[in-house]
Each structure stands twice: as structure tokens, then as C-alpha cells.
A and B are shown apart, each in its own frame.
Chain A
């Protein structure tokens, strides 16, 4: 009986750990647990291990990434057409999303790179490095073509989008701060080796994997429902990599442009799902120039203060933040266990003591982690302060636009505006007619 139970337990464990086993069994080549011995004379089939193919898949991943970005760049910058962007979105969602289960992705690669920069003992996987760098390189050249339809997170929102109901421009502008805060916190937790929060809280990963944390799946589903009626809520108000790319897209060499023969029909402006097209605006001054200048100067003066306040705030919160680190949590468990010993040790404590761990050794490690947290939290807080101050400064600048303009930072190169532009259609028709 016991053997039957043991076998069942073993089978279950194997089933549940199958993905992990596929990765680890082959190189290790040894059984972690002894096999049950069956009285019935059952013989185990010979184990066959699949050859590792990660290298091959990495090549396919990178090649497809480059190919799709090139396709979108060609479609957006050269052809000014949307169809290839939609095609790229479908391929991206199918391949990077469902087939590759949303991993690896450029958004999460930020953390690998940040950790590698902070910790020389960590070697960033080549795929992660390329997935981080290549979209940035393409952004510098062609704008945010990666966001257009190559990123599976953006692509799935793009595909489900039916209507583009606008949310308040003021609110959208303010919410634009959040991706930066998320980016800064993600880097903080990565460099302290605590957690890759971008991966952990990826709202679409559960959808791509058709399973996972129920909370995140529900969150992802709600985001998708929102994406049906408004353009890319995740990209605009959460995506940390999007925030980073928006920085580079400001200086991109070739990018999506308003047609030179614009007739100001407003169609592109209305069509843009991310509100990246700014209509002509005559700056009707409602306050004196001196007042406006003073405000900007005031925010500039506030910038170092806000940086300092942010640094101080996160510095004092660093102990709480450090609780995300598993060693810090373990230390707390060890401490509690030693004050009020339990009859049964938790698996974590059993593993800790089983490996000969001592509270003293752990305390030294925790001290180092908490010191890191204090240092990096202060930097992160300062950066958040700077982001908020810069947002306020940017929102205090007055500009006059005589024509429609594309906000390079906000534009995700989805090419929807080209679909709407009557001049663009005429041009396309002409190009088809002309020999």
C-alpha cells in the first residue's frame, strides 16, 4: 500500500515538476529521489532525454524579433501601411506569446540587464541582452516599432482593440508617470536580487500560458477588456520598457510622420489609439509669460528637493521593501522560530537548518542585502522625485503647433493613422496605378 501511495506521490510530483525536470534532468543526469521498488516486478522504461534546444530557440527568437521589427519599420516608415503591422502582431502573439509562453520578453529583460550592471557575478543571458538592446536600437533608428506589433503584450492589446474611446488627456498625461515609477522599482528589486517584479506581475503571462496566478489572470483579462475599448492601457500606463523606449524614440532617425500634404481632416488624430497625434494649437496665453516662467523656475528649484524627499522616503521605507527578498523573509522566520519554537518546522526552515544554516551567517547576508536596499532605495527614490519634477516641468511648457504633429515619445507606430489618412490612401492608390 505504501508503495502504491509512494508511486502515486512520485508520479504527481513528476507531473507537476515536468517543465522544471525537462530543464534540469538532462544535464544532471541523476535521480533526485530513489525510484520506488515494485513488488509486482514492474520495470521502468529506459529514460530518454531530449537534447537541449534552447540555443536553437534563442536563435529563432532573436531572428524573428529582428525580422518582425524590420517588417514593421518598413511598413511604418517606408510604406506607411498598417497591414504588415497587424500581421506582425498576430505572429508575435502566436509565437512570442502563446508558443514561447511570453518568455523571453524585452520588458522583463530590463531586470536581467540591471542586475548584470549592478552585480558582476551575474551573467546576463545573451538572449535577454539582445532582447533588451535590439528594440532600443530599432527605436533609435525607426521609432517604437517594437511596441507596434512585435511586443506580444502590446500586440495582444492591439489585436483586441475595437474602439478607441479616449480618456481625459490630463489624466493620461499624469498616468504617464506610473511606468517610470514601475521601471525604477523593477530595477531596484532586480539589483537587490529580490524579485523580478515585471515578470512576476506580467498581466498577460497567465493568458499566454493558459494558467497561472488567478489574480494576475483576472488583472490581465480586465486589461484586455479595457484594451477593447481604449488603446493599449498597459503600454501607456504601466509598461516600464515602453517608458524607456519613449525616451529613445524622441531622438529616432526615421519615424512615422504626418503626411506632408496634410489637409487637417483630423481623422488621424481621432484614430490614434494612444493619443499621440497633437492637433494644431494656437497658444492662447491665459497667464502672463512672467508667471509661466516663474512656475517653471519653481519646479526646477523643486527638482533637487523632490529628489531628496524621494530619496529620504524610500530610504526609510527600505526595510519594508527588503521584505521582498527571500533571505530577509527567511531570517524573520528563523528569528521567530527561535523565539517561539514550533513542533514542526516549515519547509523553508527545514531546508535552512538541514543545510547547516545558522542565524548568524544569515544575519550577515541579510545585513548586506538591507544595506543594498538602503543604498539603492535612496537612489530609486531620488529618481522618482526627478521623474515627477520633470513631468511637472514638461507640463508647464507652452508650445504652439501650426500643424498636426506626432508625439514621438507617445507614438507606438501602430500605423492606424495611415489607415485613416485620406491623402495616404490617395498616394497608395496612385502608387498602385503608376507603372
Chain B
């Protein structure tokens, strides 16, 4: 009789326990998903209150609802806890009743499942151990598959991380953005080039072997200490700088936060670049074309290298317009070499101490405004977008020797924009604006990845990329977002379009500055115009984002600093008093600005002293 009772209690408690467990788990997820601080109704009322401040009745209502939401939350928590106690109690009842039910039923011999044959048991156990060992090996190899280049065709984040980290350990500084690029996106290790379409002879077609690419990638992350700004708009020319503690105000007249200022010997519209403690710019006129190196800390002109005695260099400089000049192209450096190009087609490369390594003339470009595309350093390769009316092409040269690695003829019309590197699914893509297309190439081989048409007119603005999407815009055409994985156009917009200034993008937003004084923010996913500011000025300089802030100079020299988010609100703006067309360069705690005739460095006073 007793036994029956215990059995029934065990059954009832088991059913109760299972049912109750399901209810508790459901309740747990309900409570977990509810945050009393973000109750939907309360949030809505709060927003209404924010818009109509001073409504005391509404505020009281919010308070009451808020209190109710909190009470409900804690009551639910209490219920959950009580439920847990009941569950534990019922479990105990179940176990005890079951034990009592079986109290007089001892395990009797002969119930074992396994055969009594010890040797057979061991033989089978060895098999099972073999299976377990195999399972462990598969698990280890699966883990390894995700991290080891041996198992994959390309590197991934961790591999690149190893490379960059190893460099850091060996004393070579690692620049943040490159490091991040390498880490998070990865780069291909093997790329063989067979450039049948190249304009050069067969001998000139350089097959970039795996080792060479590896060296490129390794060098892509090597530079001097601190944050570098190796090319126009930063290292990949995407206008996103990892610099920290960047000043947000300065005054040229009073010297507030100005570390130094210096006159530039010759004219130019190119932008400064920073590597280590060195700042590079160029200047040119009819008399000479020169590459300058300044000390980042003191502003002292460290050395000047003239682009002279170059075979094929024209005796007479090509005609250029006043707003382009002979030195509109920004230099590029990889921390070992620095290269500059001028409107004459003269390309010169030096080591970091100003010793000329090589120089060549690429042929005087036929260009009615003047050659203006900036150089791009990708590891040990120098990317030259040599667009001109006669034979537009893009090429990669060895920065140390000038040897051509690959060259690709282009079918697009002449442009004045500059190349960028976009990292897409772990692969670097060289992206060029053209007319009418945006084109992506393999930077290791020049092989074309994709081409999207949609631009028109005179394209001077450069592209930008973020999160696998490339954005390009030209005035009177459109802002185009391209899925860089597939080459499909995601959306186009035409509310506000840049003429000279280049856009900058984050994963969420695209920002651009127009030559008629509008700063606009678009949704990067949809192309919807998020916000715009009409500033009654003119922008040629390109915006750069650092520390969540967007910095952009107007031509008249007013610096505008906006929050780089959907608010896109003005954080600060001030007139520097000097016309500025170039895009500033950023490093930790410092900004280097080139104005019409001078160059200056902004730094907080303590930074400046250090």
C-alpha cells in the first residue's frame, strides 16, 4: 500500500516538475527580454515629453507608468524565484518518494548490460577510445581550419594579426589602420599576374609571385611609430583616421594649439602625409618640382628633393589651370620610400632621408586642367592612376626600384580623382573612379574585379569604402553605392553631390561636402538623405573622420567639426583665416594642414612640447 502511495507521489511530482520547469523557463525568457527602463509605452511618452517639455500631467503619467513597469518587473522576478523554490521542493519530493519506492528493492546480481567477458569489453573500449581520439583530432583540425593559412587560400584576421604582431615585436612599429585592415579583413597571399591587356611589352608584364605579394602585405603594415597618414586621405585613402586625442580647436592668429607653421617654398594643392616624425608635401612651378620633408614636431624643413634630371621630362611644363597647378597630386609613402608625381609626368621616389632612389617620366599627361590624381602606397607597390585624355591607365610600380609590376589600360575618360584600397571580405580591392564607371582591380595583379557605370562629367571626387560597400560620386551624376563583393549597384542618390571633395563613409553613413557649401549625410544602407547643412561656403578639401568626429575645411579656411553619426550635429567651427584646399593629415594628437601658401601643425600645447 505504502509502495503504491510513494509511486503515485513520484509520478505526480515528476509530472508537476516537468510542467513547472517548462513554465518557469518560459517565464524566465519573458522576464529576461523585458527591460523596465525601456518599456515601449514609457519610451514613447518620454519622447513626447522631450518634444513638449513642461507638460506636468504627462510627466506624472510617465512616472506612474514607469513605476508600474518596474513593479511588474520585480514582481515577475519574485514569482520566478518562488517558482524555483517550489521546483526544487518538488524535485526533492520526487527523489525521496522514488527512493522510498525502491527502498526494499536492492540491485540484484545479473543485471549488467555489458558482457562479463572482460577481454571483449576492453577490445570494444579500445575502439571507442579510437573514436574519441578521432573526434578530438577532427575538433582540433576544425578549429585550426579557421585560423591557419595552410588550410586556406588566403589569410584571415588572425594570420594578418600574427604578421603585424610579429613585426611589432621585432621592433618595427605597426600603424593602426594598416594593422586593423590586415587584421580584420585579411589580404590574399597568392596572386599571379598575366596581364595580357597591359600596355607594356611582354617583358614588362611582371608576374607577381606569392612571395612578392607576401612581402607587399608585410610591408603594408610596416611604418614608423604612431598613427601614420601615408597617402591622400590616410593610408588606404578612405579618410578614416585612427588618430586619438586630436585637437578640436586652434587659432592661427593667437597661436592657440599651433605647434608650428612654416612657409612652403613652392606652390601646390597637394595634401600633407605623415609617417613617423616626418611630414611630406610637394610644390612646383615653372622653375622646379620639389618634394619636401618637414619635422612633425618642430616644423623644420628636413630636406628637399628636386625632381630634376629625369629622362623624358619635358623642357616646357604643360599648361595647367590656376586651381590645379603642377603639384596637385599628393605624395605616398610606405615608411621606407616616399614618392611624388607632378603634372609633367615626372615621378620620383626617395628614401626617408631624402636620397633619391629612382625617377622616371611617365609621359606628359594630356590633361586640360592638369594632372591631379594622388599616388597610393600599397605595401611595396606604388599605385598610379595615370588618367589622361590620350592613354589612361593604372599601374603598380615597385616603390624601391620603380620597376613596373603591372599596368592596365583603362577605357574610361579622363578623371582627376585618386585611387583607394577597399577591403572586401578579407581581400583588398583597388578602386578607381572613372567616367562613366567605378572600377575595382586586384591591387596585386591589376585584374579587374568589377565595373559599375553611372558617373558623368568631369570626375574629380575619389571613392570611399566601408563594410564591403564602395561609394563614388560625381557632380551632376549621382552618389552610387556598390556592393564590392558582387559589383552590383545597391542604390543611387543625387540630392547633394561633390565636385572636388571626396566622400567618407562609415558602416552606417556616407558624408560628403559639395562645392556649393552643403555638407550632407546619407544612410549607407539605403541612400536616404539623413541630414544636410547648408553652410554658404565652398568645399574642395575632403572630410576626414577620426574619433567619431568629421573634420572638413571650407576653401575659405573655416574648419567645421561635426559628429560623425546620424545626428550629424555641429561640434565646433572656427575660421583659421587661411584659404585651405588640401585635406589635412591626422596622427595622434596632431593635425597637419596645408593652406594656400603654408603648412602648419595643430597640437594641444602639451603635445606640442612633447
Contacts and interface: CB of A to CB of B under 8 A. Distances in A.
Interface stretch (B164-172, B331-339, B369-377, B590-598): B164-172
Contact of A338 (B165, B169, B176, B509): B176
A255 interface: no
A360 B240 contact: no
Interface string B38-65: 0000000000010000000001001100
A336 B180 contact: yes
Contacts of A316: 140-141, 144, 147-148, 150
Interface in A321-380: 321, 331-332, 334-345, 353, 356, 358-360, 363-364, 366-367, 370
B3 to A, nearest CB: 14
B100 to A, nearest CB: 10
Nearest to A224: B91
B21 A340 contact: no
Contacts of A283: 118-119
Contacts of A281: 116, 118
Interface residues of B, number: 92
Contacts of A399: 118
Given A159-B95, A339-B180, A341-B240, A313 B125 contact: no
Interface string A190-219: 000000000000000001001100100010
Nearest to B506: A341
Residue of A8, A221, A331, A359 most packed against chain B (CB within 10 A): A359
B558 interface: no
A199 B322 CA distance: 71
A228 interface: yes
B289 to A, nearest CB: 35
B477 to A, nearest CB: 26
Contacts of B144: 313, 316-317, 319-320
A392 interface: yes
A339 B181 contact: yes
Contact of A317 (B70, B141, B184): B141
Nearest to B140: A313
Nearest to A229: B98
Given A181-B136, A320-B143, A395 B122 contact: yes
A171 B157 contact: no
Given A164-B107, A396-B122, A9 B37 contact: yes
A334 B180 CA distance: 8
B180 A177 contact: no
B25 interface: yes
Nearest to B238: A339
A286 B49 contact: no
Given A210-B85, A360-B174, A340 B165 contact: no
A335 B137 contact: no
B244 A358 contact: yes
B132 A388 contact: yes
B355 interface: no
A435 B49 CA distance: 89
Interface stretch (A30-38, A129-137, A267-275): A267-275
Nearest to B95: A160
Interface in A155-184: 159-160, 162-171, 173-175, 177-178, 181
A307 to B, nearest CB: 12
Contact of A343 (B81, B116, B143, B566): B566
B113 A168 contact: yes
B114 A170 contact: yes
A95 B566 CA distance: 55
Interface string A227-255: 01000000000000000000000000000
A359 to B, nearest CB: 5
A104 interface: no
Nearest to B147: A319
A343 B506 contact: yes
Contacts of A427: none
Residue among A9, A162, A271 facing the most chain B CB atoms (10 A cut-off)? A162
Contacts of B125: 169-171, 173-174, 395
Given A177-B129, A313-B137, A319 B148 contact: yes
A364 B168 contact: yes
Q: Is the interface of B mostly helix, strand, loop or mixed?
A: helix
A15 to B, nearest CB: 9
B15 interface: no
A388 to B, nearest CB: 5
B129 A391 contact: yes
Interface string B346-377: 00000000000000000000000000000000
B183 interface: yes
A313 B379 CA distance: 33
A97 B293 CA distance: 70
A320 B136 CA distance: 15
A12 B36 CA distance: 10
A343 B509 contact: yes
B157 A341 contact: no
B161 A12 contact: no
A1 interface: yes
Contact of B183 (A9, A314, A335, A391): A335
A363 B164 contact: yes
A328 B474 CA distance: 41
Question: Which of A168, A314, A340 has the most C-beta atoms of chain B within 10 angstroms of its own C-beta?
Answer: A340
A339 B165 contact: no
Contacts of B183: 331-332, 335-336, 339
Contact of A174 (B106, B132, B158): B132
Interface string B230-273: 00000000001010100000000000000000000000000000
A409 B81 CA distance: 40
Nearest to A1: B59
Interface string B105-133: 01111111110111101111111111111
Nearest to B164: A363
Contact of A269 (B109, B157, B184, B565): B109
B189 interface: no
Nearest to B109: A266
A265 interface: yes
Contacts of A338: 176-177, 179-180, 184, 240, 242
A94 B240 CA distance: 58
A343 B242 contact: no
Given A169-B125, A174-B132, A391-B129, A367 B242 contact: no
B244 A168 contact: no
Contacts of A181: 136
Contacts of B72: none
B156 to A, nearest CB: 9
Given A210-B85, A317-B140, A392-B129, A341 B66 contact: no
A8 B133 CA distance: 54
Given A320-B144, A358-B244, A163 B102 contact: yes
B533 interface: no
A217 to B, nearest CB: 9
Nearest to A4: B63
B168 A398 contact: no
17 contacts: A1-B62, A164-B107, A166-B113, A265-B109, A270-B107, A270-B110, A271-B107, A319-B147, A320-B147, A331-B161, A332-B183, A332-B184, A338-B242, A341-B506, A364-B169, A388-B132, A398-B119
Given A335-B183, A335-B184, A340-B467, 7 more contacts: A12-B36, A162-B99, A170-B125, A174-B125, A306-B133, A339-B185, A366-B161
Complex A-B, nearest 8 residue pairs according to Cβ-Cβ distance, in ascending order: A174-B128, A338-B180, A319-B147, A266-B109, A170-B124, A169-B114, A313-B140, A335-B183
